[in-house]
Structure 1
Amino acid sequence: MTSAGELASGWKASFNGGQRRTFRLSSPHNKQWKTAPAVPPSVHPHSSTTETALTLPEQLRGLMRLLTHSVVVCTSRGGESAAGDYVASSFPDQQPAPRAMTMSSFTSLTLHPTPLVSFNVATPSRTLDAVAASGLFNIHVLAGDPAGARVAEWFRRGNAEPMHVFDRIGECGCEVMPPQPDQDSTGADGEGEEEPVLPPPPLLRGPGIMYAMRCRLLREEPCGGLVRVRDHVIVLGEVLEILEGQRRDEESGEERFGLAYADRRYRQLGNIMVGEGGEA
């Protein structure tokens, strides 16, 4: 594995009021994604290729594919490792094992008194187990370009064997940043007994990552930040810090929007709607 010293030599960190850092990947990566012209939707809630009408769940699935969703990568560390777990055997010196997943359900919840975010996860999920066990997770906002799509697709692989996402992670143009000396690595809220110090969740850096949010599970009663809804769990978290990555396009230098997902495809933000007189 790449040592912390080797990782540190490829990036520079700067601080702005102690709340923002900038990191940049200097090593090149293989580009395997490209932009393509937009196409009409491939589905319709009431369409069917058979004589049988679509069921209501299938109609809803088709309808939701017409809506645009954000795409982020969530990382955490922790959770119990099952016997023969590929992750545990590959990272014997980094227990608890790192976990990660691509999500399209991430959204902000409230800004005051502290910023809260939420997302939902289908169960069972090793990443969810890690979030629940450690109380900490990072949300990586991906760039709306081929670099961001490449990262999103890589972390769709999940945490199951035979191929774990943190093995050969460089193939998606990312690396894991070494832990910062001042990085809080506990899920404690500052009250009561001090919780054991745990390794921090993996923090990714690379051309496809615009921002990263360090988050802590909202431990408030009655649900403790985890709301079970049938076969899914809604996760509620507090944003502790926003870290700046590569928010500008490498070629044009222009600011970028985040990666979007609709109709089973990654997408860039397109045209805007303007009112009469050209005002947005």
Structure 2
Amino acid sequence: MVAYIRYTTSFLIASHERGEFPTSKHGLLLLLLLLVLPNSSLTMSLCGLAFTITKSITPRYHIRCLSTINTPSKVIENVRGIMRKVPQPVVVVTTSKPEDRNHRRGITVASFTSVCLKPEPLVSFCVQTPSRASDLLHSSGSMVLNMLAHEQVQQSIAFSSPTADQFKDIPFFDDPITGLPVLMGTLGAMHCEVYKVVQLGDHEMWITKVLKVEEGVGGEHGVREEAKPLLYYDRCYRSVGDQVFMKAFADNNDLASTKWMHRAHLRMAWNYIRELGPDAAEPVIKETIRTHFSKNPVKSRDYHETITSFYIALVSAAVRSFKGDDASDFFALVEHFPQLLDSKTIETYYSPDQLYTDHAKHTFVKPDLKPLPTYL
């Protein structure tokens, strides 16, 4: 036994001198040897060897403190970053009041997913709170999940707005049994009832039971349509409605010309200002509008450098001034600052003689009645 211990000790000492085996398992072996050896010079040698090995060990791995590296705000940014790369189907959830089926609402979501098929099919989606859509869903308890086809950009934009006339110019019918509104021309529709609602931060997760599925809901002419789904990925800090809107604007999607009037330009500017900051956004906004006008030759004469610059400044001032939970909602912004949509607002900054000149149309001129605002 003593001979074996002496051999092992000699092996460990020689290995250490060659720079080998500086690991914790050899420290354990030394400890076992110390337990079985009486006090002797050999024991003291082993103690010295253990101390030397311990001091000479260079850690191969470094354990980082996750609490300091992955702060809550950092994790949020990382989640946003990875989710921007994941395509999501665009779904419009429609519902109405049980006592008044003419009181309809819809909301565009991109959080739709299947939960399970057995023992009963469940699907889920998320709704921001507080919102009128959430209130009506709670009141109704039932809804239709409309899977948009790739050409239904206009529907997606319409139902991302909280305005009362969401269904105006949108083909739909009321289900003869439930009375719920069903959009036409979609890939399909799921008729659902609430199963469970979970409050999660500033959103509610609605888990719903599917009662009926309609595939290829008929178009305007009663034809069941086969199409590709409308997908989006959030490459910026935009809601699904804003992302689809911006893509349609950039692609010059064939929507009604009324969709690209003053409010659409404001919404486009608002997205870029939030994404890039006012200074970096200004040339991008102007180039986007010029490009859009160039694709519509009839409107090309409408571009006005001073008017465009004025409204960029006005939207920037509104963004600086608008704080709180609704700061990421364009429609809340224009509701809070109605002067953005008021065509006469610019007249409080510019006189007609200053604004409506050929020079002002092609080159920015400063207002002559009062300076551009920094805040509203």
Q: 2:203 aligns with which of 232, 239, 245?
A: 232
Specify the SS of the correspondent of 2:204.
strand
Q: How does 1:38-77 map to 2 (within 5 A)?
A: 55-77=74-96
Q: Deviations over 1:186-225 (max 9, x none)?
A: xxxxxxxxxxxxxx321121x3x1211111111xxxxxx1
Q: What is the one-letter code of the residue matched to 1:115? A: P
* Aligned match of 1:121: 127
Q: Deviations over 1:200-259 (max 9, x none)?
A: 321121x3x1211111111xxxxxx111112211101111111133589x9xx9943311
Identity of aligned residues (%): 32
* Aligned match of 2:104: 98
Q: How does 1:25-36 map to 2 (within 5 A)?
A: none
Q: 2:161 aligns with which of 157, 160, 165?
A: 157
Name the CA shift for 1:70/1:95 in 2 (closer, same or farther; >3 Å): closer
Q: 1:179 aligns with which of 169, 172, 175?
A: 175
Q: Which has the larger radius of gyration?
A: 2
Q: TM-score, normalised by structure 1?
A: 0.52
Distance 2:112 2:226 in 1: 21
* Aligned match of 1:203: 182
Given that 1:247 and 1:255 are in contact with CA atoms closer than 8 Å, whether structure 2 keeps it comes out as: no
Distance 2:155 2:197 in 1: 27
Name the CA shift for 1:178/1:247 in 2 (closer, same or farther; >3 Å): closer
Name the CA shift for 1:261/1:57 in 2 (closer, same or farther; >3 Å): same
Gaps of 5+ in 1: 1-53, 80-92, 186-199, 219-224, 268-280
Specify the SS of the correspondent of 2:82.
helix
Distance 2:116 2:160 in 1: 28
Specify the SS of the correspondent of 2:133.
helix
Given that 1:143 and 1:247 are in contact with CA atoms closer than 8 Å, whether structure 2 keeps it comes out as: no
RMSD: 2.9
> Which has more strand, going by share of residues?
1
Gaps of 5+ in 2: 1-72, 236-242, 248-376
Name the CA shift for 1:246/1:239 in 2 (closer, same or farther; >3 Å): closer
Count the aligned residue pairs. 163
- The higher relative CO (CA closer than 8 Å, separation ≥ 6) is in 1
Distance 2:155 2:200 in 1: 29
Q: What is the one-letter code of the residue matched to 1:75? A: T
Distance 2:81 2:74 in 1: 11
Query: Is 1:107 the counterpart of 2:108 in the alignment?
Result: no
Distance 2:206 2:156 in 1: 20
Distance 1:96 1:229 in 2: 31
Q: What is the one-letter code of the residue matched to 1:261? A: Y
Q: CA deviation at 1:64?
A: 1.3
Q: 1:261 aligns with which of 224, 232, 240?
A: 232
Specify the SS of the correspondent of 2:144.
strand
Q: CA deviation at 1:150?
A: 2.1
> Which has more helix, going by share of residues?
2
Specify the SS of the correspondent of 2:152.
helix
Specify the SS of the correspondent of 2:136.
helix
* Aligned match of 2:321: none
